[in-house]
Amino acid sequence: MKHTPNQIPRSYLDKTHTYGRIWMVTALALLLLAPTFISVYYDAWPRLGEFAKGMLGVAPIFWVVAVIEVFTYAPMLGAGGSYLGFVTGNLTSLKVPCAINAMEAVKAKPGSEEGDVISTIAIAVSSIVTTVIIALGVFLLAQLTPILQSEALKPAFDNIVPSLFGALGVVLISKNWKVALAPVVVMTVLFILIPSLTSSVSVLVPVGVLIAIGAARILYKKGWL
């Protein structure tokens, strides 16, 4: 198929979706295989009533967050980055910041073809580095436990995610502060008035997106953008 030098060939996107779906299904099967194997081996199956009661308490929250993350992050990460990110996990605190930072470094726009490629590479590298670090952590767990549990490092571990998104936020907000002002102010006031909402950040991400879109539309109509 003919394509311009800066355009991703359709065959690449088709293969990305094909392999992405295969790996998504494979990952889901592997996640379900471990508890199934344990239940079969020990002949210890959860009672349906207790299982349903436990699932009803947590599943709706995770389902809502999962759907929201797909609609929020997929346009940002592109096809390859989305499949790879959702299979390897830890999107909010690791994969998304890595992808955004990489696209920012090469001046590629999220959602563009260049952004798709850069996002996929960034998330792939992030996944490899994470796997290596986790492997080292497992082998050196006994030696690292006293350090990781020290009171001196606790504040740092408690603020990893805010520091990541804070650093990215400064860069992105400074680019178009007029659009960013509305969601930042609304969310800041909301979290100050209702601190308990800090545990539902993922659910509120699309709310902030909608506020930003609405603010941008109003500013555009008034000729301020």
d(Cα 186, Cα 188) in Å, to the nearest integer? 6
Boundaries of every domain in the chain:
176-225
What does each C-alpha distance from 39 to 46, 48, 51 come to in angstroms? 8, 13, 13
Per-residue pLDDT tens over the stretch 4-41? 545 566 677 888 889 999 999 999 999 899 889 999 99
The pLDDT score that the predictor gives to residue 153 is 82
Single-letter residue type at 12 = Y
Closest by CA to 84, choosing from 125, 38, 49, 113, is 125
Tens digit of each residue's pLDDT (9 = 90 or more) over 80-118: 999 999 998 888 778 888 898 899 889 888 888 888 999
Q: State the CB neighbour count (10 A cutoff) for residue 39.
A: 12
What pLDDT is stored for residue 26 in this prediction? 93
> What was the pLDDT predicted at 224?
81
